[in-house]
Amino acid sequence: MLGYLVHRILIMIPTLIAISLVIFVIIHLPPGDYFSTYIAELQSQGETANLAKIAFLKAQYGFDKPLWQQYLYWAFGLLHGDMGYSFLYDLPVNAVVGDRLLLTFVVSFTTIIFTYIVAFPIGVYSATHQYSISDYMLTFLGFLGLATPSFLLALVLLYLANVYFGISVGGLMDPIYVDQPWNWAKVLSVFAHVWIPVVVIGTAGTAGMIRRLRANLLDELQKQYVVTARAKGLHPFKVLVKYPLRLSLNPFISDIGSLLPQVISGAAIVSVVMSLPTTGPMMLEALRSQDMFLAGSFLMFMAFLTVIGVFLSDLALAALDPRIRLQTGPAQ
């Protein structure tokens, strides 16, 4: 496994470097930069910008240097924990981002756990009770979950909670904890609030996962070795757990890689609707205003999570099923 780990990490590092290059180039593609947009905005309002301060910031953050030097400045800054300066908020990015990265991670991680905990038993039940009334009901719910946009579900929940229970379910903690330092009461408040965004963000992923697990398990259950095992009198639970379930888990595990970025990007709109203090709304604003360091840091964080997700799912697959596949076509 050490050899596999080294091979995978050696692929992961250039991948992250390539992604950082792409992010940097894309952020710089629109004409101008944050400062030119800022000066134009002030001029349109009949105000004058503090040109001396802007020139100072441009020189300090290397905006007067060639692009490749700006890239190196940004990339090496990330390495020693300096994510740069947010011109939009007039603060270092580290200070602006604050707890948002942590809360985004908490929401995303909890959503993935929720997805797996809900999808696994339902998928197995649905496959082992194919074409039963409960299977049809679960299938219907699955399609409903797939077809419902997360932000719409968020709006419906907000409305129902407000009208029928008289409570506001927005935010990730009680308002009194928003600007307080972390303590046990704040952590408990986050846990009390996190389930609603988790259900909202995780519903579509859960429905998709149920469909995939059901399909994979049905494929396995119809194979001859399962029929043989049943014919020999093996207990149905043992038949299910010993091979078909284990084999049908491979795509389930390989989904970890794609689930992380899906959850984070899907959460952006939901975060706006539900006023969640996560990275989504701030990233949208940073991209809109070309706040290069802030947008770049968020995008790198997402890319890092994606690469880590794929890395973890590859490791889990290598540990669970280290077999050669001789057939042509995409490997699962």
Partner 1 sequence: MTRIDEADEDPAGATRHIYPASAMVGDYLRAAAGLIPTGILFATVPLGTVAATVLGGFAAMFGLFGLRTLLRHGTRVEMTDTELSVHGATRRTIAWAELDRMKLAYYSTSRDRRSGWMQLELRAGGGAGNAAVSTKVQIDSRIAGFDSLVRRAAEAAAFRGLALSDATVANLESLGIRVPDHDPAYDPPYDPRADR
Interface residues toward partner 1, by CB under 8 A: 2-11, 13, 76, 78-82, 225, 228-229, 232-235, 238, 242-243, 247, 314, 318, 321-326, 330-331
* Least distance from partner 1 to the Cβ atom of residue 247, Å: 8
Largest CA distance in the chain: 86
* Least distance from partner 1 to the Cβ atom of residue 241, Å: 12
* Least distance from partner 1 to the Cβ atom of residue 28, Å: 23
Report the residue number, 3 or 175, with the smaller CB distance to partner 1.
3
What residue type is 292 in one-letter code? Answer: M
What residue type is 227 in one-letter code? Answer: V
Report the residue number, 154 or 229, with the smaller CB distance to partner 1.
229
Please, what is the angle between helix 133-147 and helix 184-221, to 10°? 120
* Least distance from partner 1 to the Cβ atom of residue 79, Å: 5
Report the residue number, 141 or 247, with the smaller CB distance to partner 1.
247
* Least distance from partner 1 to the Cβ atom of residue 53, Å: 27
Rounded distance between C-alpha atoms, residue 230 and residue 42, angstroms: 76
Report the residue number, 140 or 225, with the smaller CB distance to partner 1.
225
What residue type is 237 in one-letter code? Answer: F
Report the residue number, 163 or 324, with the smaller CB distance to partner 1.
324
Q: Is 63 helix (H, G, I), strand (E, B) or coil?
A: coil
Report the residue number, 31 or 81, with the smaller CB distance to partner 1.
81
What are the phi and psi torsion angles at 307 (to 5°)? -65, -40
Q: Could you tell me the CA-to-CA distances from 319 to 11, 316, 322 in Å, in that order? A: 18, 5, 6
Among 192, 181, 200, residue whose Cα is nearest residue 99: 181
293: CB partners within 8 A, 6+ apart = 61, 74, 83, 84, 85, 86, 87, 93
Beta strands in 40-112 (DSSP E): 85-86, 91-92
* Least distance from partner 1 to the Cβ atom of residue 230, Å: 9
Rounded distance between C-alpha atoms, residue 211 and residue 205, angstroms: 10
